[in-house]
Structure 1
Amino acid sequence: MSALLSVSDAHIAYGKVEAVRGVSLDVADNEIVTIVGANGAGKTTLLNAIMGVLPAKGRVAFAGEDLARFEIEDRVALGLSLVAEHRELFSSMNVEDNLELGAFRVAKAQAAAAFERVYTLFPRLKERRRQLAGTLSGGEQQMLAMGRALMGAPKLLMLDEPSLGLAPIIVADIFRTIADLRAGGVSVLLVEQNAQAALKIADRAYVMELGEFVLSGTASDIAANARVAASYLGFTHEGASAV
Structure 2
Amino acid sequence: MTAQATYVRTADVALDELTPFPGNAKRGNVDTILESLRRNGQYRSLVVREIPDGPLIVLAGNHTMQALGAHGAGDCGKTVKTSNGTGPCGICQNDPSWQPGARCEIVQCDEDTARRINIVDNRAADLGGYDYEALSELLAGLDDLDGTGYTPRDVEDITALLTAPPDEVTELSDHHGEPNEDIFRPKISMTVDAETFDRWRLALDAHPGKDDEAKLDGLLDEIERTRAAAATAAEAGA
TM bucket normalised to smaller? under 0.3
User: Given the two structures, how large is their TM-score scaled by the length of structure 1?
Assistant: 0.20
Relative to total residues, which structure has the larger strand share, 1 or 2? 1
User: Given the two structures, how large is their TM-score scaled by the length of structure 2?
Assistant: 0.20
